[in-house]
């Protein structure tokens, strides 16, 4: 089926509607102000035969600006309205899936709603999300994520009755390499074959199937409440003094080891003083305090890529079951290795 042709104005509305609604509103206001100034500019009378060409050009610009000062703001305003409606619809869709008890909700939605759902998930996890929007359920790269000056690509596949094989995943990885993406997420409402799972081992590609996506949405839904409770606890907690030097301590987070991600009291005079206290006085914390001290004071070991020899960069998974866990990644090779294993 041939693709229906669209006018430049329709394309402008379509592209702008993929941006945040406030961007479209600013474009509408800015385009009106600029074009209104041009349209209101009086024409200079011709005093010499050589000025006729300039007068014609200025006259054409004034005429175009006269119409454009209404057409462009209208187009940008429509795009801002569409973007706002999509944003509200996207949030409601996310809340509905988060409240559902099984994966069936993913299969009941259209491929466009499935793409919106995935976009909302990554937006809530701190990414700047740009919807590329393919021409259908298999239209190519669907989302571009940006965070910490890094670009990640997302491919959405709402396959209800089929397993995603290795070929689409291999093609997606090729697109990632061609675009210089730091990582990628292949998301489906179905499941993946064993060949697809084997292919991504050691690569900076995360496969997200239907059950995993439902689990990720549920975890992300609980994060705001959990973070608010932690904030309230922190405000009520009084900082103890260091057992070694006697000065006030600060809350720190273990970066590596079995206690990675856990909080503990660390001396504010670190690195001159490495005194620590467990956050909660309990036997389990006491027995692991030495491990926390070791991980807090040690620097990550430098490693080189076994393929190209480039120094590996310590990165962190942004989502999924491994969210928060660190790994060594090679930017040129687009591959990663666990922190615990030797690269």
- Let me know: does 194 contact 164? Beta carbons within 8 Å: no
Residue range 104-152, pLDDT digits in tens: 667 667 778 888 888 888 888 888 888 776 544 444 688 899 988 899 9
Residue range 16-65, pLDDT digits in tens: 887 788 888 999 999 999 988 888 888 666 666 666 677 777 888 888 88
CA 117/CA 90 separation, integer angstroms: 6
Specify the DSSP class assigned to residue 49: G
CA 264/CA 162 separation, integer angstroms: 47
The token pair at 73 is: 């703001």
- Let me know: does 191 contact 172? Beta carbons within 8 Å: no
CA 36/CA 46 separation, integer angstroms: 23
**Euclidean distance between the first and final Cα of the chain, in Å?**
50
CA 188/CA 138 separation, integer angstroms: 11
Distances from the Cα of 325 to the Cα of 201, 247, 290, 306, angstroms: 16, 32, 21, 21
Q: Which residue is listed with tokens 């409770």?
A: 229
Which CATH fold would you assign to the domain 300-343? N-terminal domain of TfIIb (2.20.25)
Architecture of the domain spanning 104-217: 3-Layer(aba) Sandwich (3.40)
- Let me know: does 96 contact 62? Beta carbons within 8 Å: no
Distances from the Cα of 85 to the Cα of 8, 27, 93, 128, angstroms: 22, 18, 12, 18
Which residues in the chain show pLDDT less than 70?
Answer: 1-5, 43-52, 98, 100-105, 107-108, 133-140, 159-162, 219-238, 255-258, 271, 280-301, 317-324, 340-343
């Amino acid at each position: 089926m041939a693709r229906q042709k669209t006018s430049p104005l329709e394309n402008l509305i379509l592209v702008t509607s993929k941006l945040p609604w406030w961007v479209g509103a600013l474009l509408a206001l800015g385009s009106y102000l600029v074009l209104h100034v041009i349209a209101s500019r009086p024409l200079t009378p011709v005093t010499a035969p050589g000025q006729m060409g300039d007068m014609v050009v200025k006259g054409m610009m004034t005429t175009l600006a006269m119409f454009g000062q209404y057409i462009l703001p209208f187009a940008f305003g429509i795009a801002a309205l569409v973007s706002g409606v999509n944003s509200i619809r996207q949030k409601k869709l996310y809340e509905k899936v988060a409240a559902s008890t099984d994966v069936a909700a993913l299969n009941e939605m259209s491929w466009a709603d499935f793409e919106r759902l995935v976009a909302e998930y990554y937006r809530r996890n701190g990414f700047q999300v740009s919807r590329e929007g393919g021409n259908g359920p298999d239209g190519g790269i669907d989302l571009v994520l940006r965070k910490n000056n890094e670009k990640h690509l997302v491919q959405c596949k709402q396959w209800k009755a089929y397993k995603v094989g290795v070929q689409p995943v291999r093609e997606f990885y090729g697109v990632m390499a061609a675009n210089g993406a730091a990582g990628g997420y292949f998301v489906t409402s179905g499941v993946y074959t064993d060949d697809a799972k084997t292919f991504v081992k050691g690569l900076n590609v995360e496969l997200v199937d239907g059950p995993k996506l439902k689990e990720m949405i549920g975890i992300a839904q609980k994060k705001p409440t959990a973070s608010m409770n932690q904030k309230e606890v922190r405000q009520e907690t009084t900082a103890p003094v260091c057992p070694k030097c006697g000065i006030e301590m600060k809350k720190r987070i273990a970066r590596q080891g079995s206690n990675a991600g856990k909080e503990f009291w660390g001396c504010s005079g670190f690195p001159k003083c490495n005194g620590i206290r467990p956050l909660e006085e309990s036997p389990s914390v006491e027995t692991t305090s030495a491990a926390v001290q070791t991980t807090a004071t040690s620097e990550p070991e430098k490693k080189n890529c076994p393929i190209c020899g480039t120094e590996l960069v310590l990165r962190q998974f942004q989502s999924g079951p491994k969210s928060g866990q660190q790994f060594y990644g090679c930017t040129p090779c687009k591959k990663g290795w666990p922190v615990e294993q030797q690269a």
